[in-house]
C-alpha cells in the first residue's frame, strides 16, 4: 500500500473501495454536504502510472455524485512524486 488517509473518529465517513494500492478514497458526510477525499500516489517519472488511478478516480467521482447529489466537494491530494519545471526537475536551480 502506497496511499493512505487518516480521518478523525468523530467525522462520519465511508471508505470507497478502489482496486489500486496507489489510491485511497473516503466519502466524508458533513451536516450540509459530502466531501470525496482522495489520496493518490504516483510513481516518479512514470506518466503511465497516473492513467490507471485517474480512471479509477473518475469512476468513483461519478458514482459519488449520483449517490450524494449536488453538494459533493472533491479534494484530491497526495505525493505525486513530480518535480516542478521551475525548479529544474531533479536538480534545484539557484534562481527561479
Of the candidates 25, 82, 81, the one whose C-alpha atom is nearest the C-alpha of residue 58 is 25
pTM of the predicted model as reported, rounded to 2 decimal places: 0.74
The second-level CATH assignment, the architecture, of 13-87 is 2-Layer Sandwich (3.30)
pLDDT of residue 33: 86
pLDDT in 10s for each residue of the chain, 96 residues: 678 888 999 999 999 999 888 889 999 998 888 999 999 887 766 677 778 888 899 999 999 988 887 778 999 988 655 554 544 455 555 565
CB 61 within 8 A of CB 26: no
Task: Kindly compute the dihedral angle of the four CA atoms of residues 49, 51, 52, 57, in this order, to the nearest 10 degrees.
Answer: 120
Of the candidates 35, 46, 38, 32, the one whose C-alpha atom is nearest the C-alpha of residue 13 is 35
Half-sphere exposure (CA, 13 Å, Cβ side) for 42? 20
* The three cell numbers locating residue 29: 458526510
pLDDT of residue 60: 93
pLDDT of residue 83: 52
Amino acid at each position: 500500500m502506497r496511499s493512505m488517509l487518516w480521518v478523525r473518529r468523530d467525522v462520519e465517513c465511508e471508505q470507497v473501495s478502489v482496486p489500486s494500492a496507489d489510491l485511497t478514497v473516503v466519502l466524508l458526510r458533513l451536516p450540509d454536504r459530502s466531501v470525496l477525499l482522495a489520496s493518490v500516489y504516483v510513481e516518479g517519472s512514470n506518466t503511465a502510472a497516473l492513467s490507471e488511478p485517474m480512471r479509477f478516480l473518475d469512476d468513483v467521482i461519478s458514482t459519488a455524485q449520483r449517490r450524494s447529489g449536488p453538494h459533493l466537494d472533491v479534494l484530491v491530494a497526495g505525493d505525486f512524486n513530480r518535480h516542478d519545471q521551475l525548479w529544474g526537475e531533479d536538480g534545484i536551480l539557484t534562481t527561479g
